[in-house]
Amino acid sequence: MALVAVGACYMDTILTFVSFLASRTSTPRVNALKHSCRTPHYPAEDEKQRATSISRRRGETVLQQLIAASYQSLSLHLVSVLPARLSSASQYIISDLEPGVQLKQCIFREASQEPASCYIIKSQATGSRTVVNHNELPEMTVDEFIENVQRLEPCPTWVHFEGRIPEVTRECIRYVQRQFPSASVSVEIERPGRPGLQELAKLANVVFYAKSWALVSIQTPRS
């Protein structure tokens, strides 16, 4: 059985020292890393505040699902956009995942060294989580997806998509359904209100809804 996961590649790294957080300080970008720092309260504008902890660890994305599936007897493949193959971040991801997860279908942006980052500020006072994303990597196109997936061996039996860019994901799902009609398709639906996600849900065999989507659906009356 071949499982293919299509989406962003996030990793978290945990740091145990105390650091300072300044709203006007430029933070170095680290590819595919999610940074999380805890503060006594949410900092005001221009305020300098000492964080009580800083952590970086693997993110809960399609990558996490592949890691969980790696304990089974499955052929696992990741389709994700990464920076240059020889960049420190890509090399870290390759060494961390292979050989359990195959990365031959990943798309390496050789002109880029700094990929996607996610910065999270957690307030100990209120429990709030403020998330700031930054990604300068060109997103995967439908043609790139087709070019990489059609080389898969063995043929995929299950393809899982993050619902990140609905217009691209829609065409990728349709290609899988045409080219591999026996394959199951699942999709992850997360951001409420994003146009096109409902259409993706209708195309998929299995849909994973995020808690945020479920809460909005419960609160929104049906017409």
- Give residue 161's domain range: 155-223
Q: Does the pLDDT value for residue 13 go beyond 50?
A: no
2: left (phi over 0), alpha (psi -120 to 50) or beta: beta
Q: What is the pTM of this model?
A: 0.76
Strand pairing class (75-79; 107-109): unpaired
Mean pLDDT of the chain: 77
Please tell me whether residues 129 and 169 are part of one structural domain.
no
Please tell me whether residues 176 and 128 are part of one structural domain.
no
Please tell me whether residues 105 and 194 are part of one structural domain.
no
Give the mean model confidence (pLDDT) for residues 144-169: 92
User: Smallest Cα–Cα separation from 111: which of 89, 83, 88, 92?
Assistant: 83
Show which of 138, 170, 203 is a domain's final residue.
Answer: 138
Our count of domains for the chain comes to: 2
Query: Which of 14 and 182 is assigned the larger pLDDT?
Result: 182
